[in-house]
């Protein structure tokens, strides 16, 4: 069975989360390594640099810091041996000793990330924190949209992401207004005007298709303009069939040109947010409808949904973003007492320190420690992916999203 690709709601969420987690990690000393390898750079060259850095590290005064830095370098080298050359978009590696419960119990963590876009940075650095900023900027980059502003006399094509507007093409139709010049018959004039407009639409569509093919990663097409031209243009069916599927919203504006593009973005952003919300709402509502009409087609609650996925009965899982917790297994080294708790990521970071002064509820000694920590969401993502089940993350911004979280334990499933 092929693995199900992650839905965009899950992908975006995971990117945000990994950056958040990496940026919160701190080393005891200047011993966390960040390494950015751009595409095309030879791994053998990177290895040579790392050998040099290993040598330099022998001058570090603190014995633990020295050992931790050198151990981390070795770990990075081992990982790099798996590559002949940097992957298509380059490679980013974070590695270093993250302090554990007691001094000396550091754990060397390594995070290897193949960035979603090409990196240009070539960097090696050692600090008490990971250098995540370049990656963060890339991952948090706003979605890209293709924007068309059009009326009878002109058209402007732009690619926009966040506040950034990049004007790609500006075209004019050269088509005169609706009234005919003296001497021409009204019908002949109208026919000519139609033909010229049609020709204008073709040129606009050609340019639009070209900009789209150069930017296949755009999230959608947004069309706007004063009057009915935009609808007439879209009805002509001149645009690429794949781009047609990406039309998100059509909005009315007062302006054309650059002003028109800005106006479209403003009006569309409201609608786009609505679209997200509408999507979340309708997902939860389709569950509620099933629950009342065919209750044997739905499940909810962690155990039930997990069983449905593993037995291959589930087709769609809705998971609440608010349920971003870790299942932490805690054990007492003295008497063997065991318990499992749910904690947020921030809580798990301070939990070891807290446990070191918490008496065991069974024997009273302060011997509690974490033996296992697992992200609930990761577990679900893996299960859903293995079983080819669609998994969607739902925010708590809507009433339906809150209901999912509070009323159904944060996770629901619809069955085949
Ligand atoms: Zn105990």
pTM attached to this predicted model: 0.61
From the CA of 310, how far away is ligand 1's center (Å)? Answer: 34
Identify the CATH number of the domain in which residue 252 sits.
Answer: 3.30.420.60
CA distance 279 to 316: 14
CA distances from 311 to 247, 291, 307, 315, 383 (A): 38, 20, 6, 11, 11
In a domain, 287, yes or no: no
Q: How many independent structural domains does the chain possess?
A: 3
Copy the structure tokens of residue 407: 């009323």
From the CA of 366, how far away is ligand 1's center (Å)? Answer: 8
From the CA of 324, how far away is ligand 1's center (Å)? Answer: 29
**Mean per-residue pLDDT of the chain:** 89
In a domain, 2, yes or no: no
Beta strands in 13-151 (DSSP E): 32-37, 91-98, 107-113, 123-127, 144-150
Print the domain residue range for 332: 294-416
Q: What is the pLDDT of residue 261?
A: 94
Identify the CATH number of the domain in which residue 14 sits.
Answer: 3.30.960.10
From the CA of 330, how far away is ligand 1's center (Å)? Answer: 11
Model confidence at 2, pLDDT cuts 50, 70, 90, reads very low
Least confident range from 6-10, 59-63, 96-100: namely 6-10
Q: What is the pLDDT of residue 178?
A: 66
Three-state DSSP at 109 gives strand
Task: Output 127 or 116, whichever has higher pLDDT.
Answer: 127
Domain co-membership, 124 together with 148? no
Average pLDDT over residues 227-244: 94
In a domain, 288, yes or no: no
Q: What is the pLDDT of residue 216?
A: 86
In a domain, 79, yes or no: yes
From the CA of 338, how far away is ligand 1's center (Å)? Answer: 8
pLDDT tens figures, 70-124:
999 999 999 999 998 888 889 999 999 988 766 667 789 999 988 877 888 999 9
- Given 110, 139, 168, the domain boundary residue is 139
Inter-residue contact 68 to 27 (CB < 8 Å): yes
Domain co-membership, 208 together with 328? no
From the CA of 37, how far away is ligand 1's center (Å)? Answer: 47
From the CA of 290, how far away is ligand 1's center (Å)? Answer: 47
In a domain, 262, yes or no: yes
From the CA of 267, how far away is ligand 1's center (Å)? Answer: 61
pLDDT tens figures, 31-44:
999 999 999 899 99
Q: What is the pLDDT of residue 102?
A: 67
From the CA of 103, how far away is ligand 1's center (Å)? Answer: 22
From the CA of 363, how far away is ligand 1's center (Å)? Answer: 4
From the CA of 368, how far away is ligand 1's center (Å)? Answer: 7
Domain co-membership, 162 together with 269? yes
Least confident range from 101-115, 298-312, 315-329: namely 101-115
């Amino acid at each position: 069975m092929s693995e199900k690709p992650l839905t965009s709601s899950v992908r975006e969420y995971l990117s945000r989360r990994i950056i958040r987690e990496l940026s919160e990690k701190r080393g005891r000393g200047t011993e966390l390594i960040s390494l950015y390898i751009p595409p095309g750079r030879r791994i053998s060259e990177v290895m040579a640099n790392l050998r040099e850095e290993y040598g330099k590290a022998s001058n570090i005064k603190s014995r633990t810091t020295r050992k931790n830095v050198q151990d981390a370098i070795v770990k990075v080298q081992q990982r790099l041996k798996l590559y002949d050359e940097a992957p298509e978009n380059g490679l980013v590696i974070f590695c270093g000793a993250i302090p554990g419960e007691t001094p000396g119990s550091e754990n060397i963590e390594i995070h290897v990330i193949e960035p979603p876009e090409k990196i240009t940075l070539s960097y090696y650095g050692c600090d008490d924190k990971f250098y995540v900023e370049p990656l963060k900027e890339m991952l948090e980059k706003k979605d890209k949209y293709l924007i068309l502003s059009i009326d009878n006399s002109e058209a402007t094509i732009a690619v926009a992401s966040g506040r950034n507007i990049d004007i790609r093409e500006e075209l004019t139709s050269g088509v005169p207004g609706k009234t005919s010049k003296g001497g021409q018959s009204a019908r002949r004039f109208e026919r000519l005007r139609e033909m010229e407009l049609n020709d204008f639409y073709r040129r606009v569509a050609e340019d639009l298709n070209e900009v789209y093919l150069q930017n296949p990663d755009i999230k959608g097409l947004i069309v706007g303009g004063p009057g009915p031209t935009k609808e007439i243009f879209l009805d002509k069916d001149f645009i690429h069939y794949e781009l047609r599927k990406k039309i998100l919203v059509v909005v009315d504006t007062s302006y054309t040109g650059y002003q028109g593009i800005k106006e479209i973005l403003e009006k569309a952003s409201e609608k786009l947010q609505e679209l997200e919300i509408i999507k979340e709402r309708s997902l939860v509502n389709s569950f509620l409808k099933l629950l009342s009409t065919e209750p044997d087609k739905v499940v909810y609650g962690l155990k039930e949904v997990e069983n449905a996925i593993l037995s291959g009965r589930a087709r769609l899982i809705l998971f609440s973003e608010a349920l971003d917790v870790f299942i932490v297994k805690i054990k007492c080294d003295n008497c063997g007492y065991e318990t499992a708790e749910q904690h947020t990521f921030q809580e798990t970071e301070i939990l070891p320190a807290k446990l070191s002064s918490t008496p065991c509820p069974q024997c009273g000694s302060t011997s509690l420690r974490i033996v296992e920590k697992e992200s609930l969401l990761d577990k679900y993502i893996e299960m859903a992916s293995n079983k080819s089940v669609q998994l969607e993350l739902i925010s708590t911004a809507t009433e339906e999203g809150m209901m999912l979280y509070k009323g159904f334990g944060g996770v629901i499933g619809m069955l085949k």
